[in-house]
Structure 1
Amino acid sequence: MKEKLPRLPIATRLRNDFLAGLIICAPVAITLWLTWSVVRWADSWVKPYLPARYDPDNYLNFAVPGSGLLIALVAITLIGFLGKNLIGQSIVQFSESLVRRVPLVRSIYQSVKQIFETVLKDKTNSFKKVGLIEYPSPGLWALVFISTDAKGEIATKFKAMGQDMVCVFLPPTPVPTAGFLIFTPREKIVPLDMSPEDAAKLLISGGLVTPEELAGRMKKQERTRKPLPAPIEM
Protein backbone atom coordinates (compact mmCIF):
# COMPACT_ATOMS: atom_id res chain seq x y z
CA MET A 1 0.00 0.00 0.00
CA LYS A 2 1.13 3.48 -0.79
CA GLU A 3 1.99 5.62 2.14
CA LYS A 4 -0.21 8.67 2.49
CA LEU A 5 1.64 11.94 2.35
CA PRO A 6 1.27 14.02 5.49
CA ARG A 7 -1.24 16.82 5.14
CA LEU A 8 0.24 20.26 5.25
CA PRO A 9 -0.99 22.73 7.83
CA ILE A 10 -3.74 25.07 6.72
CA ALA A 11 -1.45 28.10 6.99
CA THR A 12 1.13 26.47 4.70
CA ARG A 13 -1.50 25.50 2.14
CA LEU A 14 -2.95 29.01 2.16
CA ARG A 15 0.51 30.47 1.70
CA ASN A 16 1.21 28.15 -1.26
CA ASP A 17 -2.14 29.01 -2.84
CA PHE A 18 -1.44 32.71 -2.38
CA LEU A 19 2.00 32.43 -4.01
CA ALA A 20 0.54 30.42 -6.90
CA GLY A 21 -2.12 33.09 -7.42
CA LEU A 22 0.49 35.83 -7.20
CA ILE A 23 2.57 34.18 -9.92
CA ILE A 24 -0.52 34.10 -12.15
CA CYS A 25 -1.92 37.56 -11.39
CA ALA A 26 1.22 39.69 -10.96
CA PRO A 27 2.50 39.46 -14.59
CA VAL A 28 -0.98 40.22 -15.94
CA ALA A 29 -1.48 43.17 -13.57
CA ILE A 30 1.96 44.65 -14.24
CA THR A 31 1.52 44.29 -18.02
CA LEU A 32 -1.87 46.00 -17.92
CA TRP A 33 -0.52 48.77 -15.67
CA LEU A 34 2.46 49.44 -17.95
CA THR A 35 0.26 49.43 -21.05
CA TRP A 36 -2.23 51.81 -19.44
CA SER A 37 0.62 54.09 -18.29
CA VAL A 38 2.03 54.29 -21.82
CA VAL A 39 -1.42 55.06 -23.27
CA ARG A 40 -2.09 57.80 -20.71
CA TRP A 41 1.40 59.25 -21.22
CA ALA A 42 0.87 59.43 -25.00
CA ASP A 43 -2.58 60.99 -24.57
CA SER A 44 -1.22 63.62 -22.18
CA TRP A 45 1.36 64.66 -24.77
CA VAL A 46 -0.81 64.61 -27.90
CA LYS A 47 -4.29 65.73 -26.85
CA PRO A 48 -3.34 69.22 -25.51
CA TYR A 49 -2.01 70.12 -28.99
CA LEU A 50 -4.89 68.53 -30.88
CA PRO A 51 -7.48 70.95 -32.34
CA ALA A 52 -10.87 70.65 -30.68
CA ARG A 53 -12.64 69.59 -33.88
CA TYR A 54 -10.29 66.61 -34.26
CA ASP A 55 -10.54 65.50 -30.64
CA PRO A 56 -13.03 62.60 -30.33
CA ASP A 57 -13.60 63.44 -26.65
CA ASN A 58 -15.54 66.56 -27.69
CA TYR A 59 -18.09 64.46 -29.60
CA LEU A 60 -18.60 61.83 -26.91
CA ASN A 61 -19.73 61.95 -23.32
CA PHE A 62 -16.63 60.06 -22.16
CA ALA A 63 -12.91 60.14 -22.78
CA VAL A 64 -11.49 57.71 -25.34
CA PRO A 65 -8.25 56.27 -23.96
CA GLY A 66 -5.60 55.63 -26.56
CA SER A 67 -6.90 58.12 -29.12
CA GLY A 68 -3.85 60.32 -28.61
CA LEU A 69 -1.52 57.34 -29.08
CA LEU A 70 -3.37 56.30 -32.24
CA ILE A 71 -3.21 59.83 -33.66
CA ALA A 72 0.51 60.01 -32.85
CA LEU A 73 1.18 56.71 -34.66
CA VAL A 74 -0.77 57.86 -37.72
CA ALA A 75 0.98 61.24 -37.73
CA ILE A 76 4.46 59.71 -37.40
CA THR A 77 3.72 57.23 -40.20
CA LEU A 78 2.40 60.02 -42.43
CA ILE A 79 5.46 62.18 -41.75
CA GLY A 80 7.71 59.23 -42.59
CA PHE A 81 5.83 58.69 -45.87
CA LEU A 82 6.06 62.35 -46.82
CA GLY A 83 9.72 62.52 -45.77
CA LYS A 84 10.65 60.00 -48.46
CA ASN A 85 9.35 62.26 -51.25
CA LEU A 86 11.40 65.00 -52.86
CA ILE A 87 9.32 67.80 -51.37
CA GLY A 88 9.38 66.19 -47.93
CA GLN A 89 13.15 65.72 -48.07
CA SER A 90 13.57 69.38 -49.02
CA ILE A 91 11.47 70.44 -46.00
CA VAL A 92 13.44 68.15 -43.68
CA GLN A 93 16.77 69.44 -44.99
CA PHE A 94 15.63 73.04 -44.58
CA SER A 95 14.46 72.36 -41.01
CA GLU A 96 17.74 70.64 -40.15
CA SER A 97 19.71 73.57 -41.55
CA LEU A 98 17.84 75.87 -39.16
CA VAL A 99 18.48 73.55 -36.21
CA ARG A 100 22.21 73.30 -37.01
CA ARG A 101 22.56 77.07 -36.62
CA VAL A 102 21.72 76.91 -32.90
CA PRO A 103 24.89 75.83 -31.02
CA LEU A 104 23.48 73.82 -28.10
CA VAL A 105 20.41 72.47 -29.92
CA ARG A 106 22.61 71.43 -32.85
CA SER A 107 24.73 69.09 -30.72
CA ILE A 108 21.71 67.49 -29.02
CA TYR A 109 19.85 67.03 -32.30
CA GLN A 110 22.76 65.45 -34.13
CA SER A 111 23.49 63.06 -31.27
CA VAL A 112 19.86 61.97 -30.88
CA LYS A 113 19.41 61.57 -34.64
CA GLN A 114 22.54 59.46 -34.95
CA ILE A 115 21.41 57.20 -32.11
CA PHE A 116 17.98 56.62 -33.68
CA GLU A 117 19.45 56.03 -37.14
CA THR A 118 21.91 53.50 -35.73
CA VAL A 119 19.37 51.63 -33.60
CA LEU A 120 16.40 51.61 -36.01
CA LYS A 121 18.15 50.75 -39.27
CA ASP A 122 17.33 47.23 -40.43
CA LYS A 123 20.86 46.59 -41.68
CA THR A 124 22.60 47.29 -38.41
CA ASN A 125 23.59 44.58 -35.94
CA SER A 126 23.81 46.93 -32.97
CA PHE A 127 22.52 45.41 -29.73
CA LYS A 128 21.40 42.29 -31.62
CA LYS A 129 24.19 40.14 -30.22
CA VAL A 130 24.96 39.22 -26.62
CA GLY A 131 28.27 38.21 -25.09
CA LEU A 132 30.31 37.84 -21.92
CA ILE A 133 33.36 39.80 -20.84
CA GLU A 134 35.55 39.59 -17.75
CA TYR A 135 34.34 42.43 -15.57
CA PRO A 136 35.05 43.99 -13.11
CA SER A 137 38.11 41.77 -12.58
CA PRO A 138 39.58 38.62 -14.13
CA GLY A 139 37.53 35.54 -13.30
CA LEU A 140 34.27 37.50 -12.95
CA TRP A 141 32.02 37.55 -16.02
CA ALA A 142 29.37 40.11 -16.97
CA LEU A 143 26.64 39.99 -19.60
CA VAL A 144 26.96 42.68 -22.31
CA PHE A 145 25.17 43.76 -25.46
CA ILE A 146 27.55 44.06 -28.40
CA SER A 147 27.05 47.49 -29.96
CA THR A 148 29.49 48.05 -32.83
CA ASP A 149 33.16 48.20 -33.75
CA ALA A 150 35.20 51.07 -32.39
CA LYS A 151 35.16 53.95 -34.86
CA GLY A 152 36.76 57.32 -35.43
CA GLU A 153 39.59 58.55 -33.26
CA ILE A 154 39.15 55.73 -30.74
CA ALA A 155 39.56 53.07 -33.44
CA THR A 156 42.62 54.85 -34.84
CA LYS A 157 44.32 55.02 -31.45
CA PHE A 158 43.72 51.36 -30.73
CA LYS A 159 44.79 50.23 -34.21
CA ALA A 160 48.07 52.06 -33.69
CA MET A 161 48.56 49.80 -30.66
CA GLY A 162 47.62 46.74 -32.71
CA GLN A 163 44.27 46.14 -30.97
CA ASP A 164 40.90 45.45 -32.57
CA MET A 165 38.39 46.94 -30.16
CA VAL A 166 34.62 46.47 -29.93
CA CYS A 167 32.11 48.77 -28.23
CA VAL A 168 29.82 46.94 -25.77
CA PHE A 169 27.08 48.08 -23.42
CA LEU A 170 27.16 46.73 -19.88
CA PRO A 171 23.70 47.09 -18.24
CA PRO A 172 23.08 46.77 -14.50
CA THR A 173 20.57 44.55 -12.71
CA PRO A 174 17.58 44.77 -12.38
CA VAL A 175 17.09 47.94 -14.50
CA PRO A 176 19.01 47.50 -17.78
CA THR A 177 18.15 50.95 -19.13
CA ALA A 178 21.35 52.52 -17.78
CA GLY A 179 24.84 51.13 -17.80
CA PHE A 180 28.43 51.49 -18.90
CA LEU A 181 30.02 51.95 -22.31
CA ILE A 182 33.09 49.71 -22.50
CA PHE A 183 35.68 49.20 -25.22
CA THR A 184 37.09 45.69 -25.10
CA PRO A 185 39.32 43.62 -27.42
CA ARG A 186 37.33 41.45 -29.82
CA GLU A 187 39.08 38.28 -28.68
CA LYS A 188 38.07 38.96 -25.06
CA ILE A 189 34.34 38.66 -25.87
CA VAL A 190 32.64 35.28 -25.46
CA PRO A 191 29.65 35.38 -27.89
CA LEU A 192 26.35 33.82 -26.78
CA ASP A 193 23.51 32.32 -28.80
CA MET A 194 20.73 33.86 -26.66
CA SER A 195 18.67 36.71 -28.07
CA PRO A 196 18.78 40.25 -26.61
CA GLU A 197 15.24 39.67 -25.27
CA ASP A 198 16.37 36.58 -23.34
CA ALA A 199 19.40 38.47 -22.06
CA ALA A 200 17.15 41.29 -20.82
CA LYS A 201 14.95 38.76 -18.99
CA LEU A 202 18.04 37.27 -17.39
CA LEU A 203 19.21 40.70 -16.23
CA ILE A 204 15.85 41.93 -14.95
CA SER A 205 15.24 38.75 -12.97
CA GLY A 206 18.72 38.79 -11.44
CA GLY A 207 19.58 35.44 -13.03
CA LEU A 208 16.38 33.66 -11.98
CA VAL A 209 14.83 33.48 -15.46
CA THR A 210 17.04 31.56 -17.88
CA PRO A 211 16.55 31.57 -21.66
CA GLU A 212 13.93 28.86 -22.17
CA GLU A 213 14.32 28.52 -25.94
CA LEU A 214 18.08 28.02 -25.75
CA ALA A 215 17.76 25.57 -22.86
CA GLY A 216 15.12 23.59 -24.76
CA ARG A 217 17.29 23.56 -27.87
CA MET A 218 20.28 22.27 -25.92
CA LYS A 219 18.18 19.52 -24.29
CA LYS A 220 16.89 18.50 -27.71
CA GLN A 221 20.43 18.30 -29.05
CA GLU A 222 21.45 16.15 -26.11
CA ARG A 223 18.53 13.78 -26.73
CA THR A 224 19.28 13.45 -30.44
CA ARG A 225 23.03 13.16 -29.97
CA LYS A 226 24.22 9.67 -30.89
CA PRO A 227 26.21 7.86 -28.20
CA LEU A 228 29.86 7.11 -28.93
CA PRO A 229 30.54 3.53 -30.01
CA ALA A 230 31.94 1.24 -27.37
CA PRO A 231 35.66 0.51 -27.68
CA ILE A 232 36.52 -2.74 -29.42
CA GLU A 233 38.08 -5.25 -27.08
CA MET A 234 41.24 -6.87 -28.36
Structure 2
Amino acid sequence: MKKVNSLGARIFQYFMQGVLLLAPVFITGWFIYSVFQWLDNLIPLKFKLQGKENIYLPGLGVVIILIVITVAGYVSSFFLISKLLSFFDHLLEKTPGVKIIYGFVKDFSEAFGGKKRKFTKPVLVSIYQDDVYQVGFITNEDLKEFDLLEHVSVYIPNSYAVAGNLFLVKRARVKALDHVSPTDAMKFAISGGVADVE
Protein backbone atom coordinates (compact mmCIF):
# COMPACT_ATOMS: atom_id res chain seq x y z
CA MET A 1 0.00 0.00 0.00
CA LYS A 2 2.88 2.32 0.82
CA LYS A 3 4.37 1.68 -2.65
CA VAL A 4 1.09 2.72 -4.30
CA ASN A 5 0.98 5.91 -2.21
CA SER A 6 4.63 6.59 -2.98
CA LEU A 7 4.06 6.06 -6.71
CA GLY A 8 0.99 8.32 -6.66
CA ALA A 9 2.95 11.04 -4.80
CA ARG A 10 5.79 10.84 -7.32
CA ILE A 11 3.42 11.04 -10.30
CA PHE A 12 1.72 14.06 -8.72
CA GLN A 13 5.15 15.66 -8.10
CA TYR A 14 6.12 15.12 -11.76
CA PHE A 15 2.78 16.55 -12.86
CA MET A 16 3.33 19.70 -10.75
CA GLN A 17 6.88 20.05 -12.11
CA GLY A 18 5.44 19.82 -15.62
CA VAL A 19 2.86 22.52 -14.81
CA LEU A 20 5.56 24.81 -13.38
CA LEU A 21 7.74 24.20 -16.43
CA LEU A 22 5.09 24.62 -19.14
CA ALA A 23 2.69 27.20 -17.62
CA PRO A 24 4.95 30.27 -18.15
CA VAL A 25 5.66 29.21 -21.76
CA PHE A 26 2.01 28.59 -22.64
CA ILE A 27 0.67 31.68 -20.84
CA THR A 28 3.28 33.91 -22.51
CA GLY A 29 2.53 32.34 -25.90
CA TRP A 30 -1.23 32.74 -25.37
CA PHE A 31 -0.80 36.40 -24.38
CA ILE A 32 1.38 37.20 -27.43
CA TYR A 33 -1.03 35.32 -29.71
CA SER A 34 -4.05 37.18 -28.24
CA VAL A 35 -2.41 40.59 -28.71
CA PHE A 36 -1.37 39.61 -32.25
CA GLN A 37 -4.93 38.47 -33.07
CA TRP A 38 -6.45 41.63 -31.60
CA LEU A 39 -4.13 43.89 -33.58
CA ASP A 40 -4.57 41.84 -36.75
CA ASN A 41 -8.37 42.05 -36.50
CA LEU A 42 -8.26 45.86 -36.28
CA ILE A 43 -7.64 45.84 -40.04
CA PRO A 44 -9.18 42.59 -41.36
CA LEU A 45 -7.89 42.48 -44.93
CA LYS A 46 -9.27 39.91 -47.35
CA PHE A 47 -8.33 39.57 -51.00
CA LYS A 48 -10.43 38.08 -53.77
CA LEU A 49 -8.44 36.29 -56.42
CA GLN A 50 -9.92 35.23 -59.76
CA GLY A 51 -12.36 32.38 -59.29
CA LYS A 52 -11.50 31.89 -55.63
CA GLU A 53 -13.04 32.85 -52.30
CA ASN A 54 -11.74 35.72 -50.17
CA ILE A 55 -8.26 34.98 -48.90
CA TYR A 56 -7.29 36.16 -45.43
CA LEU A 57 -3.60 36.87 -44.91
CA PRO A 58 -2.83 36.59 -41.17
CA GLY A 59 -0.34 39.15 -39.91
CA LEU A 60 -0.91 41.71 -42.67
CA GLY A 61 -3.07 43.85 -40.36
CA VAL A 62 -0.28 43.88 -37.73
CA VAL A 63 2.33 44.84 -40.37
CA ILE A 64 0.14 47.72 -41.60
CA ILE A 65 -0.46 48.98 -38.03
CA LEU A 66 3.29 48.87 -37.25
CA ILE A 67 4.08 50.74 -40.49
CA VAL A 68 1.41 53.40 -39.79
CA ILE A 69 2.69 53.95 -36.22
CA THR A 70 6.32 54.19 -37.41
CA VAL A 71 5.44 56.62 -40.25
CA ALA A 72 3.37 58.72 -37.77
CA GLY A 73 6.38 58.88 -35.43
CA TYR A 74 8.68 59.87 -38.30
CA VAL A 75 6.31 62.52 -39.70
CA SER A 76 5.72 64.00 -36.21
CA SER A 77 9.42 64.94 -36.05
CA PHE A 78 8.96 67.56 -38.81
CA PHE A 79 8.60 71.12 -37.49
CA LEU A 80 5.34 72.02 -39.26
CA ILE A 81 3.69 68.69 -38.39
CA SER A 82 4.85 68.92 -34.75
CA LYS A 83 3.25 72.39 -34.48
CA LEU A 84 0.02 71.05 -35.97
CA LEU A 85 0.04 68.08 -33.56
CA SER A 86 0.76 70.43 -30.66
CA PHE A 87 -2.28 72.53 -31.62
CA PHE A 88 -4.44 69.38 -31.91
CA ASP A 89 -3.11 68.17 -28.54
CA HIS A 90 -3.98 71.52 -26.92
CA LEU A 91 -7.45 71.37 -28.47
CA LEU A 92 -8.12 67.88 -27.05
CA GLU A 93 -6.86 68.93 -23.61
CA LYS A 94 -9.37 71.81 -23.55
CA THR A 95 -12.43 69.97 -24.91
CA PRO A 96 -14.91 69.26 -22.09
CA GLY A 97 -15.41 65.54 -21.42
CA VAL A 98 -12.71 64.48 -23.89
CA LYS A 99 -9.94 66.15 -21.88
CA ILE A 100 -10.41 63.76 -18.93
CA ILE A 101 -9.94 60.60 -21.01
CA TYR A 102 -7.29 62.09 -23.31
CA GLY A 103 -5.31 63.60 -20.42
CA PHE A 104 -5.33 60.34 -18.45
CA VAL A 105 -4.25 58.18 -21.41
CA LYS A 106 -1.57 60.70 -22.46
CA ASP A 107 -0.11 61.05 -18.96
CA PHE A 108 -0.16 57.29 -18.39
CA SER A 109 1.55 56.45 -21.70
CA GLU A 110 4.17 59.19 -21.24
CA ALA A 111 4.85 57.99 -17.70
CA PHE A 112 5.90 54.59 -19.08
CA GLY A 113 7.63 55.47 -22.32
CA GLY A 114 7.48 59.12 -23.35
CA LYS A 115 9.72 62.09 -22.68
CA LYS A 116 8.16 62.54 -19.23
CA ARG A 117 8.93 59.01 -18.01
CA LYS A 118 7.99 58.78 -14.34
CA PHE A 119 8.78 55.24 -13.28
CA THR A 120 12.55 55.77 -13.27
CA LYS A 121 13.23 56.15 -9.52
CA PRO A 122 12.65 52.85 -7.70
CA VAL A 123 12.47 53.13 -3.91
CA LEU A 124 11.63 51.22 -0.77
CA VAL A 125 8.90 53.01 1.14
CA SER A 126 7.65 52.44 4.66
CA ILE A 127 3.90 53.13 4.72
CA TYR A 128 2.33 51.15 7.54
CA GLN A 129 5.24 50.31 9.87
CA ASP A 130 8.74 51.68 10.32
CA ASP A 131 10.52 48.40 9.59
CA VAL A 132 8.23 47.06 6.82
CA TYR A 133 8.84 48.24 3.25
CA GLN A 134 7.12 48.14 -0.13
CA VAL A 135 8.75 48.57 -3.55
CA GLY A 136 7.56 51.72 -5.28
CA PHE A 137 8.51 54.55 -7.62
CA ILE A 138 8.83 58.26 -6.88
CA THR A 139 6.57 59.99 -9.41
CA ASN A 140 6.69 63.55 -8.08
CA GLU A 141 9.14 65.22 -5.71
CA ASP A 142 7.41 68.59 -5.59
CA LEU A 143 4.05 68.57 -3.80
CA LYS A 144 3.77 72.30 -3.08
CA GLU A 145 0.29 72.35 -4.62
CA PHE A 146 -0.84 70.04 -1.79
CA ASP A 147 1.00 72.09 0.89
CA LEU A 148 3.26 69.09 1.55
CA LEU A 149 6.79 70.47 1.35
CA GLU A 150 8.45 67.48 3.04
CA HIS A 151 6.57 64.83 1.07
CA VAL A 152 6.98 63.00 -2.24
CA SER A 153 4.45 60.98 -4.21
CA VAL A 154 5.23 57.27 -4.43
CA TYR A 155 3.41 54.87 -6.75
CA ILE A 156 3.26 51.29 -5.46
CA PRO A 157 2.24 48.67 -8.05
CA ASN A 158 0.05 45.79 -6.92
CA SER A 159 1.37 42.25 -7.27
CA TYR A 160 0.02 40.28 -10.25
CA ALA A 161 -1.96 43.28 -11.51
CA VAL A 162 -1.53 46.42 -13.60
CA ALA A 163 -3.17 48.53 -10.89
CA GLY A 164 -1.43 50.23 -8.00
CA ASN A 165 -1.77 52.80 -5.22
CA LEU A 166 -0.42 56.30 -4.81
CA PHE A 167 0.88 57.46 -1.42
CA LEU A 168 2.11 60.88 -0.36
CA VAL A 169 4.83 60.17 2.19
CA LYS A 170 7.59 62.01 4.01
CA ARG A 171 11.00 61.82 2.34
CA ALA A 172 12.44 60.28 5.50
CA ARG A 173 10.28 57.16 4.93
CA VAL A 174 11.71 56.58 1.45
CA LYS A 175 14.96 54.76 0.58
CA ALA A 176 16.36 55.14 -2.94
CA LEU A 177 17.22 51.95 -4.83
CA ASP A 178 19.99 53.40 -7.01
CA HIS A 179 21.56 49.98 -7.61
CA VAL A 180 18.29 48.44 -8.92
CA SER A 181 17.01 49.22 -12.42
CA PRO A 182 13.42 50.52 -12.75
CA THR A 183 12.53 47.47 -14.87
CA ASP A 184 13.81 45.02 -12.25
CA ALA A 185 12.03 46.91 -9.47
CA MET A 186 8.74 46.84 -11.39
CA LYS A 187 9.13 43.12 -12.16
CA PHE A 188 9.91 42.40 -8.50
CA ALA A 189 6.86 44.35 -7.26
CA ILE A 190 4.39 42.96 -9.80
CA SER A 191 5.60 39.37 -9.38
CA GLY A 192 5.00 39.52 -5.64
CA GLY A 193 8.72 39.37 -4.93
CA VAL A 194 9.50 36.16 -6.82
CA ALA A 195 11.30 37.74 -9.82
CA ASP A 196 15.10 37.87 -9.70
CA VAL A 197 16.73 41.29 -9.36
CA GLU A 198 19.98 41.56 -11.29
TM, length-normalised to structure 2? 0.78
| Deviation (angstroms), 1:106 | 2.7
Q: CA RMSD in A?
A: 2.8
> Secondary structure of the residue that 2:56 maps to in structure 1?
coil
Larger radius of gyration: 1
**Structure 2 vs 1, CA of residues 39 and 136 (structure 1 numbering), >3 Å: closer, same or farther?**
same
Q: Aligned residue for 2:35?
A: 38
Are 2:124 and 1:128 equivalent residues in the alignment? no
Amino acid at match of 1:185: K
Structure 1 stretches lacking a partner, 5+ long: 1-7, 49-54, 214-234
Q: Aligned residue for 1:171?
A: 157
Amino acid at match of 1:158: L
**Structure 2 vs 1, CA of residues 63 and 152 (structure 1 numbering), >3 Å: closer, same or farther?**
farther
TM, length-normalised to structure 1? 0.68
Greater share of strand: 2
Q: Aligned residue for 1:197?
A: 183
Structure 2 stretches lacking a partner, 5+ long: none
> Secondary structure of the residue that 1:183 maps to in structure 2?
strand
Q: Aligned residue for 1:92?
A: 85
Residue pair 2:39, 2:62 contacting (<8 A) in 1 also: yes
Q: Aligned residue for 1:65?
A: 58
**Structure 2 vs 1, CA of residues 77 and 151 (structure 1 numbering), >3 Å: closer, same or farther?**
farther
Q: Aligned residue for 2:43?
A: 47
% same residue: 30
Residue pair 1:39, 1:65 contacting (<8 A) in 2 also: no
Amino acid at match of 2:80: I
d(CA) in 1 for partners of 2:136, 2:16: 33
> Secondary structure of the residue that 1:103 maps to in structure 2?
coil
| Deviation (angstroms), 1:85 | 1.3
| Deviation (angstroms), 1:169 | 0.5
Q: 1:119 aligns with which of 102, 105, 112?
A: 112
Are 2:134 and 1:142 equivalent residues in the alignment? yes
